[in-house]
Amino acid sequence: MQKRHSNKELYFQEQVFTTKEYVIPFIEQHFPLKESTRILEVGCGEGGNLLPFLDRGYHATGVDLSEGKIDLAKKFLSIHFQNELVSLVADDIYHLDPGETGLFDLVMLRDVIEHIHDQAKFMQFIKCFLKQDGLIFIGFPPWYNPFGGHQQICRHRILNKLPYYHLLPKPVYRLMLKAGGEPSDRIQGLLEIKETGISIERFEKIISKTDYKIHMKKLYFINPNYEVKFKLKPREQLKIMTGIPFFRNFVTTACYYLVKKK
C-alpha cells in the first residue's frame, strides 16, 4: 500500500477516477453544476480532484500548504486542454482573501477535514468563500474505521495492512510504529492524525455548531476510492448500521456530505 502513496502520478490518476465516477455524480444529484460554476478545493494536493471539473469547463481554484504538491499539480494539469481555467495556490487557506479570490459555488474538502486542527474554527472560516446558495462537499474516513489512522502509508508490510491498531493508546501506537522501522517524520504525521481524526458524530456536531445544515449525506461500507485502489466495488452502508451512533464509525470507510449555510 505504501508504494502507491509514493507514486504521485498514480495517486493523481486515482483521485481523477473517484472524483469523476463518484464525487461529481453525488454532488449533481443534489446540486446542478453548470458552465459558470466556480470551485474551490482546499487541500488539493496534486490536483487530481480538479481535473474532472476542468474536463467540464468549470473554473477551479486549488489551494494546498505544500509547495511541492502544488508544483506537481501545475505539472500534471499544464497539459490539459483547458488549463487556463485552473488557478493553483501554495499557501495556508487562512492567508487568502475572499475579496481577491471571489466567492465560490462549490467548496471541495475531500479527505482533508480529518487532517485539520480546530475543525470548528476552520468550518466557520471557510464560510467566507462560499456564495449564499453554495455548497461544501466534504468526504472523509471516520477515525474509528479499520484504517482511519491512515496507517496504510506505513512502509512495514504488516503495519500497512493491520487494521484498527491506530486506536491503541498513543504511547503503544508510537512504540509499534517505531518497532516497525517507520521514519520519525512518518510517525509524527500518523500521531498528528490521531489528534485530528474525526468521528461521524463529532463532524455532525461541528456542522450544527458552525451554523450549517446537512443537505445530503451518504455513508459507505466500501469506500468508492477502493474501486481503483483494490478493485472492490463501492457499497453503501446498510441503513440499519447508519442509524447506530458510534458503532457505525467502525464499519464505515467513507462519508460523503453536502452542507450549506443555514
For the chain, what are the domain ranges?
Answer: 2-144+198-261, 151-196
pTM score: 0.95
**What's the mean pLDDT in 128-144?**
97
Average pLDDT over residues 49-61: 97
Q: pLDDT tens-digit profile of 161-210?
A: 999 999 999 999 999 999 999 999 999 999 999 999 999 999 999 999 99
Whose CA is closest to 18, among 248, 220, 216?
220
- CATH superfamily of the 2-144+198-261 domain: Vaccinia Virus protein VP39 (3.40.50.150)
- Output the CA torsion 46→141→56→106 (10° steps): -100
Exposed e or buried b per residue across 150-184, where buried means at least 16 C-beta atoms within 10 angstroms of its C-beta: bbbbbbbeebbebeeebeeeeeebbebbeebebee
Q: Kindly tell me if the per-residue pLDDT of 3 is higher than 90.
A: no
pLDDT-derived band at 60 (thresholds 50, 70, 90) equals very high
204 or 230: whose pLDDT is higher? 204
Residue 127, judged by CB atoms within 10 A of its CB (0-12, 13-18, 19+), counts as middle
At residue 7, the pLDDT reads 84
pLDDT at residue 6 above 80?
no
Query: Can you tell me the mean pLDDT for 252-259?
Result: 98
